[in-house]
Structure 1
Amino acid sequence: MLKELLTPNYIFEASWEVCNKVGGIYTVLSTRANTLQASFQDKVFFIGPDLWEGKENPLFTESDSLYAAWKKHACQQENLPVRIGRWNIPGQPIVILVDFQPFFSQKNEIYAQMWNQYQVDSLHAYGDYDEASMFSYAAGRVVESFYRYNLTKADKVVYQAHEWMTGMGALYVQMAVPEVATIFTTHATSIGRSIAGNYKPLYDYLSAYNGDQMAQELNMESKHSIEKQTAHHVDCFTTVSEITNNECRELLDKPADVILMNGFEDDFVPKGSTFTSKRKRARATMLHVANKLLGTQLDNETIIVGTSGRYEFKNKGIDVFLESLSRLNNDANLTKNVLAFITVPAWVDKPREDLQLRLASEESFNEPLEIPFITHWLHNMPQDPILNMLASLGMRNESTDKVKVIFVPCYLDGNDGIMNKEYYDLLLGEDLSVYPSYYEPWGYTPLESVAFRVPTITTDLAGFGLWVNSLEKLHGLENGVEVLHRSDYNYSAVADGIKDTITLFSEKSENEIKQIRKQAGKVAEHALWKHFITYYYKAYDVALCNAQKRQNN
């Protein structure tokens, strides 16, 4: 007989990215909220940093009535400045934003307590460590205060902390409110990301690396310490993919208890005629910008390829993508024009005025603008890795080139001054996307791509790519996702793999492409939260069982 899983009555989740759009964790939390809210109506609380003093946060709507008595008590009796409201996302879950500034005056005492209790080494802290830790501690204090004021021992409560930035709060909760079951989720190990980002081979040597030693070498001791100690002490340690679990096992000396794969909701994907007209408008925008920048007349037969995400030149595979485009430009088998967009926020200065003038003009242009690779000026043009690599590859974006590359170095929020469309409203205009990551614990960008029925090329070093490979008969270009094998040393083979896949795609008929796009959407359906939420229930059960054992000892 199957054991019935223990289910919490209340769930608290803390992250730096609650009501604070920074990266992939925001997507994890904000898309999953609706599924949790449906099952735990208003018993799910997200805790985030209150970073909006004196300004309005468009993602947060404050409430005067939600837990008003506790809020007053927390603010006045416990010097815990909190605001309570709702997150403006599907499901509208309750959010507690905490101002962590008051805790900086207690920083040394907090760090001493963490060292004495859990051997967390904060001595080598620098950069964002202090800020993250003070927020994390404040979040733990919020849970303690809320529990003492509103709940009883009969309530089963889970506290889930995301990333090293909230580890200290999880340890504090375990110490101060042992009744609460703790879960820690690492979305990428700080050491793994650092090894990869520092151009050291991560995968072939993974078993030979010592996490503590590498933390010392890479000046990451404090972040690694909080991450490792939290992983070892919480009631349930989780990560997001098999590939990251290998890192946890080797670098943190602790495999995950449960793997929580990242799902998503497709409620932001337009349907039917809306999708068709948005795709048409997106393509028109991209071709319009390209033609004005390049002085060309590229038409709708052009294959539009894109990549996007964080500006991690090697980790996200931007380098190998550029290499593949250079090779593609010299490939005699390519018969169509290819227009590649790299949408990666960089140190942007301002939109190009010369391009803005051309975009406003009805005129057609036959000459390219100066530096015809970029839509916005950067503060550090001479040091930019993308522009430098394009130059070293000898790419020129000349009218005779079959492959042209455009770098859009800003957040696509609809107001960038050139594209003036939001990211998702441009994504669906692409024919093919490329995410050849070297380091990618999960990989939301290729998942979002297939959700918008844009077939994608990724690698088996991305959690998403590895997961697609596990799906029966649902990988390969024909099925919307081409997963290339990637290792520490096969850069050139990956570049050729991308080149060949784009060429192959360019030869497909309209009907074949229609079928590929349909299949891409099917892959995305397998990753909806309604399928992946079951892993969370397993984690809740593990945490609650271990918390009970911990208290009984």
Structure 2
Amino acid sequence: MTRDVHNPILFEISWEVANKVGGVYSVIRSKAPVTIHEFGDRYTLIGPLYYKTAIAEVEPEEVTNPHMKEILEEMSRQGVRWMYGRWLIESSPRVILFDTSSISTRLEEWKADLWKVASIPSPPNDQEVNDAILFGYLISWFLNDFVVRERNAAVIAHFHDWLASVGIPLIRKRHIDLTTIFTSHATLLGRYLCSGSVDFYNNIKNFNVEEEAGKRGIYHRYHIERAAAHCSDVFTTVSQITAFEAEHLIKRKPDGILPIGLNAVKFSAMHEFQNLHAQNKEKIHDFVRGHFYGHYDFDLDNTLYFFTAGHYEFKNKGVDTFIESLGRLNSRLIACNSPVTVVAFIVMPAATQSFAVESLKGQAVTKQLKETIKDITEKIGQRIFEKAARYAGGDIVDAIVEPDELLTNKDKVFLKRRVIALKRGGWPPIVTHNMVDDVTDPILNSIRRVRLLNSPGDRVKIIFHPEYMSSGSPLIGLDYEDFVRGSHLGVFPSYYEPWGSSPAECTLMGVPCITSNLSGYGGFMQDILETPDDYGIYIVDRRMKTTEESINQMADYMLQFCQKSRRQRITQRNRTERLSDLLDWKIMGMEYVRARKLALYRTYPDSFAGVEAGEFESYIKTKIPKPLSAPASPRIKGSSNIADVDDDEEITEEINRF
């Protein structure tokens, strides 16, 4: 049967559709507008139904597609509960959510079938795998019935990560007439191995993957992921480093890379981003005054704010190397007698009991001092006005308030009380909360080991904030995005990071960052930019260098940044912000277009008249920027994922294409 490959129907399947569990949620959510622009009503997302989250995420509506309506009604008659509606995000894509618990009576039957058709084992007590199997069979059931009824258009099913992928081997074994794409956002075994103490990347070719998966109790999960990769028509990952990982652990070389974009409009501030930096930096100043002043003070005009943030993965996120490099940066700043102070924030959620009293007290007394001075200032202004107005018709000398008349004795008493209340003994605290496990916490122990204890002589101060940023917090009082905008440098030297949204978000907001070539984002920027450093993207080599060399390289980067003048930092932020268009889904989404075309070609080669197999790569080639001559514009090298264009006009045309 011939299907229309030029107007295909797309189903995108993920465990995180309208269900925020991890990073895939943000990927699918932010990508939806460009996918809707391409497919319109031919695009539907499918995910699991969790009623608590679905109520807030999805607006139910009547099923309009007659084929879908017929299938869903039939599934209802067989006991399947589902929800159909609009996901309450930008572009409002259609979603179908299936309640896996409603069909749990068929679990054992489907487990036996999965072993029979795909040789995938499933232990009895792994609830997550049980849910994945139920979801996978519901997906294959729905898609099979859909392509039987929809006889004209080609159908693409794009699956994300292993939890949603059980349906792929079922589709292949049952010869269902559609094409499949599987995207691995991180391999299961890779994440488990990296969380241990193994030298992952130097030994990746030597691992016995079956044995390693078995030792970690994920043998069955690993085989679901591996079956999905091998049974899909097109297998993709989100970065070159994950592709390298997948080739050795999953044993299939990916067909392409689907890098993760962002919604640049969300972060766009146009010419205002420098003003936003100044405004939010002042709010961070307020926190730093409350945290440090009273113990001792330093010049905030010569203070730089560095930060790292994310899930608490001490090694994988590179927090260990960050702290070590801060210790060396401190020594170098002291040795060169630098006037610069660095305040380094570590923002990672950990188990806490409450805010630290010392932190709350510092913010409270500083706020009281600020309010007292504001009140006194208003009174002084009123006195000056009154005297000037009273003597306006007399001698001009009588209208001038003398300095000793500005402050009354009452004002002086209030001011002295506030200043005395501000004074505190000891050194400022390292952590802003009372930790549940202060003694064995890896971050705190690492800080203690490098002796960064916020002593007066240290040029590097550390603040560990063990919860996510929130504007409602009594401490910093900034949402994460505003905190990033107010900072000077983001530091994300990850050891295991399939992509890395945090440094990408920094780039979109014009904030320079340090990343590593073991992160997808770092590798992506290293591939396309001739001189990443010039654009505020400092890439630490953690692949070819030893840990010691990587730490020294990062300390060098941070010292270079500290030695920049304010003008140089402003110029660099401008250059960093200019990269934002490269990270927008309007550009990144083109790789999804290529993957879908490749999947259609492999399934329906006869529908691509005159295109030989060897010519297909050039057939689907999509133009995006090449190296530019203007110094202020990003100098792009070009990569395996990127082809050339002729000039700036073509870049603008490409960005506006969707």
Where does structure 2 lack aligned partners over 5 or more consecutive residues?
A: 370-418, 607-658
Equivalent of 2:592 in 536, 539, 551: 536
SS of the equivalent of 2:434 reads: strand
Describe the shift of the 1:473–1:273 C-alpha distance in structure 2 as closer, same or farther (beyond 3 A): closer
Identical residues among aligned pairs (%): 27
Task: Give the partner amino acid of 1:544.
Answer: L
Describe the shift of the 1:497–1:183 C-alpha distance in structure 2 as closer, same or farther (beyond 3 A): same
* Residue aligning to 2:265: 267
Asked if the contact 2:136/2:164 (under 8 Å) is kept, the reply is yes
Q: CA deviation at 1:251?
A: 0.9
SS of the equivalent of 2:359 reads: helix
**How big is the alpha-carbon RMSD for the aligned residues of Structure 1 and Structure 2?**
2.8
* Residue aligning to 1:341: 345
- Map of 1:360-375 to 2, 5 A cutoff? 360=364, 361-363=367-369, 365-367=422-424, 372-375=429-432
Asked if the contact 1:474/1:523 (under 8 Å) is kept, the reply is no
Describe the shift of the 1:6–1:374 C-alpha distance in structure 2 as closer, same or farther (beyond 3 A): farther
Give the distance between the partners of 2:75 and 2:474, measured in 1 at CA.
42
Equivalent of 2:212 in 208, 211, 214: 214
* Residue aligning to 1:63: 61
Give the distance between the partners of 1:410 and 1:145, measured in 2 at CA.
47
Give the distance between the partners of 1:100 and 1:11, measured in 2 at CA.
22
Give the distance between the partners of 2:9 and 2:200, measured in 1 at CA.
39
Bigger shift: 263-272 or 125-134? 125-134
Task: Give the partner amino acid of 1:13.
Answer: E
Q: Deviations over 1:462-500 (max 9, x none)?
A: 121112111242412x22111121138621222222222
Task: Give the partner amino acid of 2:449.
Answer: S
Q: CA deviation at 1:153?
A: 2.0
* Residue aligning to 2:316: 315
Residue 449 in structure 1 maps to residue 447 in structure 2: no
Q: CA deviation at 1:335?
A: 3.1
Task: Give the partner amino acid of 1:533.
Answer: G
Describe the shift of the 1:33–1:316 C-alpha distance in structure 2 as closer, same or farther (beyond 3 A): same
Bigger shift: 416-425 or 329-338? 416-425
- Map of 1:471-490 to 2, 5 A cutoff? 471-476=528-533, 478-487=534-543, 490=546
Describe the shift of the 1:272–1:177 C-alpha distance in structure 2 as closer, same or farther (beyond 3 A): same
Describe the shift of the 1:355–1:468 C-alpha distance in structure 2 as closer, same or farther (beyond 3 A): same
* Residue aligning to 1:114: 114
Q: CA deviation at 1:393?
A: 2.1
Give the distance between the partners of 1:125 and 1:309, measured in 2 at CA.
31
SS of the equivalent of 1:35 reads: helix
Equivalent of 2:359 in 355, 360, 365: 355
Give the distance between the partners of 2:430 and 2:58, measured in 1 at CA.
38
Give the distance between the partners of 1:435 and 1:302, measured in 2 at CA.
20
* Residue aligning to 2:16: 17
Asked if the contact 1:294/1:399 (under 8 Å) is kept, the reply is no
Bigger shift: 69-78 or 261-270? 69-78
* Residue aligning to 2:580: 524
* Residue aligning to 2:628: none
- Map of 1:25-40 to 2, 5 A cutoff? 25-40=24-39
Task: Give the partner amino acid of 2:217.
Answer: N
Bigger shift: 348-357 or 459-468? 348-357
Q: CA deviation at 1:528?
A: 2.0
Describe the shift of the 1:153–1:177 C-alpha distance in structure 2 as closer, same or farther (beyond 3 A): farther
Give the distance between the partners of 2:224 and 2:322, measured in 1 at CA.
35
* Residue aligning to 2:170: 172
Give the distance between the partners of 2:15 and 2:240, measured in 1 at CA.
24
Give the number of equivalent residue pairs. 542
Q: Deviations over 1:133-171 (max 9, x none)?
A: 4344444444445555xx512121111111111111333
- Map of 1:15-414 to 2, 5 A cutoff? 15-53=14-52, 57-64=55-62, 69-70=69-70, 73=73, 76-123=76-123, 126=126, 128-144=128-144, 147=147, 151-175=149-173, 178-272=176-270, 274-295=272-293, 296-297=296-297, 299-331=300-332, 332-333=335-336, 334-352=338-356, 354-360=358-364, 361-363=367-369, 365-367=422-424, 372-414=429-471
Task: Give the partner amino acid of 1:247.
Answer: E
Q: CA deviation at 1:232?
A: 0.7
Describe the shift of the 1:355–1:85 C-alpha distance in structure 2 as closer, same or farther (beyond 3 A): farther
SS of the equivalent of 2:583 reads: coil
Equivalent of 1:515 in 554, 559, 571: 571
SS of the equivalent of 2:90 reads: coil
Q: Deviations over 1:343-397 (max 9, x none)?
A: 2222344444553454344246343799812233343333321112112222212
Residue 467 in structure 1 maps to residue 524 in structure 2: yes
Give the distance between the partners of 2:86 and 2:75, measured in 1 at CA.
19
Asked if the contact 2:79/2:103 (under 8 Å) is kept, the reply is no
Give the distance between the partners of 2:559 and 2:355, measured in 1 at CA.
33
Task: Give the partner amino acid of 1:355.
Answer: S
SS of the equivalent of 1:184 reads: strand
* Residue aligning to 2:643: none
Bigger shift: 423-432 or 174-183? 174-183
SS of the equivalent of 1:362 reads: helix
Give the distance between the partners of 1:160 and 1:487, measured in 2 at CA.
31
Q: CA deviation at 1:523?
A: 2.9
SS of the equivalent of 2:579 reads: helix
Give the distance between the partners of 1:135 and 1:411, measured in 2 at CA.
32
Give the distance between the partners of 1:271 and 1:319, measured in 2 at CA.
33
SS of the equivalent of 1:330 reads: helix
Q: CA deviation at 1:230?
A: 1.0
Task: Give the partner amino acid of 2:325.
Answer: S
Bigger shift: 129-138 or 6-15? 129-138
Asked if the contact 2:427/2:455 (under 8 Å) is kept, the reply is no
SS of the equivalent of 1:526 reads: helix
Where does structure 1 lack aligned partners over 5 or more consecutive residues?
A: none
Give the distance between the partners of 1:105 and 1:417, measured in 2 at CA.
50
SS of the equivalent of 1:519 reads: helix
Runs of 4+ in 1 over 6 A off after TM superposition: 368-371
Asked if the contact 2:111/2:133 (under 8 Å) is kept, the reply is no
Q: Deviations over 1:287-336 (max 9, x none)?
A: 32333234454524310111112211111101000111111122223431
Describe the shift of the 1:510–1:114 C-alpha distance in structure 2 as closer, same or farther (beyond 3 A): same
Describe the shift of the 1:288–1:24 C-alpha distance in structure 2 as closer, same or farther (beyond 3 A): same
SS of the equivalent of 1:367 reads: coil
Asked if the contact 1:480/1:523 (under 8 Å) is kept, the reply is no
Q: Deviations over 1:30-85 (max 9, x none)?
A: 221111111111222122222233x6644333334655945861563232222122
Task: Give the partner amino acid of 1:269.
Answer: F
Describe the shift of the 1:519–1:7 C-alpha distance in structure 2 as closer, same or farther (beyond 3 A): farther
Q: Greater helix share, 1 or 2?
A: 2
Describe the shift of the 1:20–1:416 C-alpha distance in structure 2 as closer, same or farther (beyond 3 A): farther
Task: Give the partner amino acid of 2:440.
Answer: Q
Q: CA deviation at 1:411?
A: 2.9
Give the distance between the partners of 2:434 and 2:129, measured in 1 at CA.
31
Describe the shift of the 1:136–1:279 C-alpha distance in structure 2 as closer, same or farther (beyond 3 A): farther
Give the distance between the partners of 2:517 and 2:455, measured in 1 at CA.
34
Asked if the contact 1:178/1:547 (under 8 Å) is kept, the reply is no
Describe the shift of the 1:220–1:176 C-alpha distance in structure 2 as closer, same or farther (beyond 3 A): same
Describe the shift of the 1:350–1:545 C-alpha distance in structure 2 as closer, same or farther (beyond 3 A): farther
Task: Give the partner amino acid of 1:309.
Answer: G
